[in-house]
Amino acid sequence: MKLWQKKQTTVTEAVDRFTVGDDRLWDVRLAPYDILGSKAHAQMLAKVGLLTTHEAEALCGELDNIMELVTKEGFVIENDFEDIHSKIEFMLTERLGDVGKKIHTSRSRNDQVLTAMQLLLKDEITEIKELTKALFNTWMSLAEKHKNDLLPGYTHLQVAMPSSFGLWFSAYAESLVDDVILLNAAHTICDQNPLGSAAGYGSSFPIDRMHTTEALQFSTLKFNAVAAQMGRGKTERITASALGSLAATLGRFSMDVCLYMSQNFDFIHFPEHLTTGSSIMPHKKNPDIFELIRGKCALVQGLANDFALLGQNLPSGYHREMQLFKGKMLEGIDSIKDCLTILNSAIKEVGVRENIMEDKMYSYAFTVDALNELVQQGVPFRDAYKQVGLDVEAGNFKPPKKVHHTHVGSLGNLSLDKIQEKFNKHY
């Protein structure tokens, strides 16, 4: 029977399939967190006198036993149950009788799933930050290794000014700092205990919500019961926005890699075991890894918009379409984690072509350096600009033999130590 059934009659199989959807599959991921929430809830019920100490101990003991089951491979939620909440309550009742039936006192599946999802998101954001740090370290290491290897910088996809691999790698490393700041913000949003808000309007029982807040290691409470319920969807949207920012960084870097690997650029290369071939063109070494990262990250960036549309115009209170946030959120998390892992693994094996800027096709990348030399000799900037421009048009331009950039953040002064300090501060 469903938790909400009062008698044996039930909905049709088609209605059950449509309303439950893939929730049983996704709820396997939520199971450990639902058990943690249930243990804290049982202990709180005993504290306020709604359960005896013995009953709470029995419930927590069985919840520990169930935890061992749900964390093993092969655990499933059968079609007899709508979700993990139903199955766990059934298992408790089957093992403890009437005591198991008491676990749902003063709560709803609404605040159960809110609590479980927010606990899960806190852990997932922490893991994503760890993967982000690993990639940051790799990019910073590559920046140091290749700080003196020049490559052309582009604006409008036209040769613009000298850059370097050190500048390129550390640019993306520092971009991750912004993404970590947003991940921290999302974590703060998730770190508010919704348990006790029940169906969104609280309870007439004298529950102790501060107890569960401390037991579940939330930093604070979502005090207003309605606000807690309205957090469903909003929490996922904010988290998706943070993931989208990180995805944008990974996707943009992957686009650079695809560009720089092409024969027209030929700035970087990878071992054959990181590229794929063509069924008819024997020369091909395709950057499939980076193309898929680019595509998957585009989809992750779309999540926040999906969630905004899904939640638009919903009045306060619970609505069934809120369950649609769950699967998309977990898919997005898995996708960004996969992208971080494979990108970090692959980029460690990048090969960099040396002496790229010695090619004559990149001579005009040095026009700014040439006019700056004239300015340092006393020529007004605008006159120096015109002089170099005329030399280019006449075919008389001779690029400077050396590049001398010294200001903070330039290719001659990457300030890697400052970038590291900034990352450490926010991480």
Q: pLDDT tens-digit profile of 367-416? A: 999 999 999 999 999 999 999 999 999 999 999 978 889 999 999 999 99
Print burial letters for 157-192: b (CB count within 10 Å at least 16), e (below 16).
eebebbbbbbbbbbbbbbbbbebbebbeebbebbbb
What percent of the chain has pLDDT above 70?
A: 97
Q: Where are the domains of the chain?
A: 13-101, 109-358, 360-426
CA distance 415 to 419: 7
CA distance 195 to 58: 21
pTM: 0.93
Q: What is the mean pLDDT of residues 243-255?
A: 98
Q: How far is CA 107 from its chain centroid? A: 30
pLDDT, one tens digit per residue, over 136-157 is 999 999 999 999 999 999 999 9
Higher pLDDT, 276 or 260: 260
Strands, E assignment, 138-241: 150-155, 158-164, 192-193, 220-221
Q: What is the mean pLDDT of residues 170-196?
A: 98
In Å, the largest CA–CA distance within the chain is 94
pLDDT, one tens digit per residue, over 207-237 is 999 999 999 999 999 999 999 999 999 999 9
State the distance between the two ends of the chain, measured CA to CA, in whole angstroms. Answer: 47
| CATH architecture group of domain 13-101 | Orthogonal Bundle (1.10)
SS3 content of the chain, % helix, strand, coil (to 5): 65, 5, 30
Query: Which CATH superfamily does the domain covering 109-358 fall into?
Result: Fumarase/aspartase (Central domain) (1.20.200.10)
pLDDT, one tens digit per residue, over 310-319 is 888 888 988 8
Per-residue confidence (pLDDT) for residue 6, from 0 to 100: 53
DSSP code at position 3? T
Q: Average the pLDDT over each of 8-17, 237-246, 383-392 and give the range with the smallest value.
A: 8-17
Nearest-5° Cα angle at 132, 412 to 326? 150
Tokens of 269: 């290369």
